[in-house]
Structure 1
């Protein structure tokens, strides 16, 4: 027997597995051509609607589902929620594709469990970066879009949230961290702002996620807006 340690099948040692979910054949074909030439990304499935996306997620257990919102039958939001609720698929990250100006559903998609969203007119390098970021466990929430979009759809809802009751489970430091997550800061940036190490900032983020029942950083952003920790007029908002 060889003394060489067997390599485990992890995202660090294999390509990022991606499922493409879009009802437009040409869109899927274009994405597939772009992704398949990348050594660290592999398209393992395609879907024409949300139901197929869920089934492909079950069958292929991808790292990322590139999910269109508007599809026939089961739409991208419902599919995202279903994937998030399937036991054994907690590692699957959903990256929503939106046209922004016409999609009023991105906020609901984030609440359903999406890890972020991108504009459909994003360039190839942006798409590749987005997939890698989401696969790595981070939320893809560009402040330029996120603050405007989430702020728009949460402003009228904030009055209906029992903010203080929801936030009582957090320490003061965790509140500060969630607010900074809501502003789109990374762990390193949060650490620099609060004079903490990135590892400590990451721990506070993880603790806040557990206490608030957030699936990932994307849902922390939603909570930050819902509870008023971050307002649509926060510094840097577009």
Structure 2
């Protein structure tokens, strides 16, 4: 008699499966990063090379680009599983749904959030971001991009059964991203001015803890509702 899979084995299997599927479909890996690069490089071309202007708006540009890049790749999070029946098998599995959902969200963050974090310092040079703001930028991206994946996955779960639900997804998710955007850009701006920004990071960290705790259960409930 086969032993049931442990929670960790279930988590690892789903995570590795999603990563392998993404590696086969190179667009899932490169499209969000390319979009992030294009958006940021267009601003210096459109606004001009004026250093003071670019420096002032750099935090907002970086974070808006990161937010839109994450949103660009979210729609495919459950769509393929819904189309090929894998999502139905997940819902019928004896394993806790929130574990499998969390593994899929983590795979999304690895494929989108980590490349954005790695590319951001190089692209910040184009925006002439203050040198002392780089640490705050990386910290906010490290804490904030998982929140984008977790909250975004709730919207994807609610719209997974809707054809061409991308517009509805944007309307649902973008307002929920605003607190992260406000505190992240505030932290970078404070760092650029030489002011303390630990309070901003603490709020973003609290949002991350709340999202990690509640979002997997919300995503699972949304999937059950939207697929019935």
Whether these two folds match at TM > 0.5 is no
Higher relative contact order (CA 8 A, sep 6+): 2
TM-score, scaled to structure 2: 0.28
TM-score, scaled to structure 1: 0.27
Which one has the bigger helix percentage?
A: 2
